């Protein structure tokens, strides 16, 4: 199936058509700067622009940095507050005229990694952690997603963990790799103590620099860098559309 995958982030909105059977991009991705303020209407217009760029009238899978339930945004930690409560599926369908699905961005990246990347054929509990503006998490049990986990907001050192250990904090505070690695280590240790996962996959833009910080982590849980890097959100958003459509079909056939 061909689905236009679109990853909506705080700084950029990126999209490309994806072959969901192989996870391959069918064209070079298009990136447009996220409009500021990133209101629902402004972002929806950018999504339409990306669809037009590919002359797209087929299905679209979008990833957004928020909890998404039945197409509606339930949180807005790293996205304009105007998104709270908005039915993103209805809004984006109206703007683009295409069928749309919406999923949390970390869940999307996790989907992509579990299907085509570092989590392929991995059983047990796999936790994908995306380190970027915030911290996103995706939980997979024997390959099945437990959606909207939001573990980036666990309390660490008396504060919201993502405000202490996200990649954006390293950049803003100009932390050395060593210092930041210690923070990431403390964060993963927290996850480890509560979940005892079988594998951590570290994603987000910084994962391409994994050599600078992953070897410094002292955890006993195996940790691997994401393989799909920048494309995970796009691929995963497209996969999620496919997945949702199949589930809807199953529900219909069960009556």
Q: Which residues contact ligand BGC (rule: CB under 6 A)?
A: 65-67, 75, 77-78, 104-106, 130, 132, 134, 136, 150, 152, 162
**Euclidean distance between CA atoms 15 and 90, whole angstroms:** 19
**To the nearest whole angstrom, how small is the minimum distance from the Cβ of residue 140 to ligand BGC?**
15
**To the nearest whole angstrom, how small is the minimum distance from the Cβ of residue 137 to ligand BGC?**
7
Closer to ligand BGC by CB, 172 or 251: give it.
172
Closer to ligand BGC by CB, 56 or 213: give it.
213
Closer to ligand BGC by CB, 197 or 236: give it.
236
Closer to ligand BGC by CB, 58 or 205: give it.
205
> DSSP string of 39-86?
-HHHHHHHHHHHHHHTT--S-EEEEESS-EETTEE---SSS-GGGTT-
Closer to ligand BGC by CB, 67 or 98: give it.
67
What's the chain's length in residues?
Answer: 255
**To the nearest whole angstrom, how small is the minimum distance from the Cβ of residue 124 to ligand BGC?**
22
Give kind and range of the element (H or E) at residue 114. helix 105-116
**To the nearest whole angstrom, how small is the minimum distance from the Cβ of residue 132 to ligand BGC?**
6
- What does residue 120 show for φ and ψ, rounded to 5 degrees? -55, 130
Of 254, 212, 243, 190, which is closest to residue 20 (Cα–Cα)?
243
**To the nearest whole angstrom, how small is the minimum distance from the Cβ of residue 219 to ligand BGC?**
21
């Amino acid at each position: 199936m061909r689905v236009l995958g679109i990853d909506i982030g705080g700084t950029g909105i990126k999209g490309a058509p994806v072959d969901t059977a192989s996870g391959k991009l069918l064209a070079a991705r298009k990136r447009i700067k996220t409009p500021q303020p990133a209101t629902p209407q402004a972002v929806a217009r950018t999504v339409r622009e990306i669809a037009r760029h590919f002359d797209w009238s087929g299905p679209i899978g979008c990833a957004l940095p928020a909890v998404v339930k039945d197409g509606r945004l339930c949180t807005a930690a790293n996205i304009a507050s105007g998104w709270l409560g908005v039915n993103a599926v209805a809004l984006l369908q109206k703007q683009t005229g295409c069928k749309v699905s919406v999923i949390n961005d970390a869940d999307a990246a996790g989907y992509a990694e579990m299907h085509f990347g570092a989590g392929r054929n991995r059983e047990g509990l796999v936790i994908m952690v995306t380190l970027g503006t915030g911290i996103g998490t995706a939980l997979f049990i024997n390959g099945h997603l437990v959606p909207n986990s939001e573990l980036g907001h666990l309390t660490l050192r008396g504060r919201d963990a993502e405000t202490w250990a996200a990649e954006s904090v390293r950049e803003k505070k100009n932390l050395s790799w060593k210092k930041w690695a210690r923070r990431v280590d403390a964060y993963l240790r927290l996850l480890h103590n509560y979940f005892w996962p079988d594998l951590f996959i570290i994603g987000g833009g910084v994962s391409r620099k994994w050599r600078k910080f992953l070897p410094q982590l002292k955890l006993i849980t195996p940790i691997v860098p994401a393989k799909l890097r920048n494309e995970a959100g796009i691929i995963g958003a497209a996969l999620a559309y496919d997945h949702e459509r199949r589930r809807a079909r199953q529900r219909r056939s069960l009556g």
